[in-house]
Amino acid sequence: MAVLDTLDTLAPIREKILAGERLDFDDGVALMETDDLLALGDLADLARRQRGGGDEVFFVQNINLYQTNVCRVKCKFCAFAKTRKQEDAFTLTADEFVEDAVRQHELLGFTEIHTVNGENPHVDLEYYAGLLRKLKEALPDVHLKFYTASEIHHMSRLEGCSHEEVLRTLRDSGLDSMPGGGAEIFADRVRALIAPGKEHPDEWFDVHDIAHRLGITTQCTMLYGHVETYEERVDHMLRLRDQQDRTSGFLSFIPLAFHPENTVFERRGFRFTTGADDLKVIAVARLLLDNIPHVKAYWIMMGLPLAQVALHFGADDVQGTVVREKIFQAAGASAGTEQKVAELVRFVRDAGRIPVQRDSLYNEIRRW
């Protein structure tokens, strides 16, 4: 009887997928609640192919660098942020950052720098804009994916100006695109519990909306596996889908599993998400987010073996070489901080897919 119940739940959704119909909130909740993980993965892979996906799996040769970990917000899920007085706090000058980036580029030859920071109350907008100018001058062919919507909102408050003024300043200084961090879960109930000092979700959306209209592409994320419900996960994804309908500026969706180590939640008994839940979120994202081109299986967050499985659950991107990742490592991630291109190629091939090295805008550089 349990099998029949599962089939009855997913059959109408499969019919919608085959007909090219958009799934709704109730469909999303039903998908989150199903225990038939293999059927869910099959549906997600079907949807990916129905929308033009093939066997290609993308990755970028990138590096994660950080300007500052000093932060005004005390998010309960974060193990990265520090106050200025803490011993391991840092705030790099533009020269220090650029010197390191140039040295690493000589060694690694990456095509993208990915940078997110704490919301440092002790620096101004020129701190960020000046670094972008120097970095673009030193590495003109490297794509600069810098600053979350939360950071942009923080900069606007520091300067007493609008989100658009900040974004125009950063774009004119060398900003190429933005990561999707700071989204967490959009539900007010959840944000009051995990990040009470952070901006309202409307601010996050306003920043991305303006960025898209200024020609700045962005990513979008969801931090899951803490205090949110299935319904709040689905609501989060549908809000992203609505924004994409308006501006079409999101290139990818990255589900981020909550890592509790060294956070308040670890002391409260929280544990890492299960592999089954990670796969479920990726599959449901691919099914609901019919207008966002790519879903990433972030190997640092979920580990390489599970990320391989995720490539059959709707994911078509494994992020990249991700040298020097610190945020998830601080919270207990154990998958390492770097993969060489050859290792990513082998990893994708072993999953039965075709490895494609891309640039930051999904233009193909090389395929194997």
Helix extents (H) in 298-355: 299-302, 304-310, 327-330, 341-350
Which residue carries 């739940």 as its tokens? 9
Whose CA is closest to 13, among 37, 31, 34?
Answer: 31
CB 345 within 8 Å of CB 337: no
Phi, psi angle pair for 70, to nearest 5°: -75, 130
Question: Band of the pLDDT at 323, cuts 50, 70, 90?
Answer: low
332: number of Cβ within 10 Å: 14
Query: What is the structure's pLDDT at 9?
Result: 77
Domains of the chain, by residue range, sit at 52-367
Mean pLDDT, range 54-71, rounded to an integer? 93
Q: Tens digit of pLDDT for each residue in 326-362?
A: 444 443 344 444 578 888 899 899 999 999 999 999 9
pLDDT(145) > 60 = yes
Lowest mean pLDDT among 5-14, 171-180, 182-191, 226-235: 5-14
Classify domain 52-367 by CATH number.
3.20.20.70
Rounded to two decimals, the pTM is: 0.90
Residues making up the chain, counted from first to last: 368
Share of the chain above pLDDT 70, in %: 88
Query: What is the structure's pLDDT at 271?
Result: 60
Mean pLDDT, range 139-162, rounded to an integer? 96
Tell me the C-alpha distance between 336 and 328, whole Å.
10
Question: Band of the pLDDT at 303, cuts 50, 70, 90?
Answer: confident
Signed CA dihedral, 356, 359, 362, 363: sign only: negative
Query: What is the structure's pLDDT at 326?
Result: 45
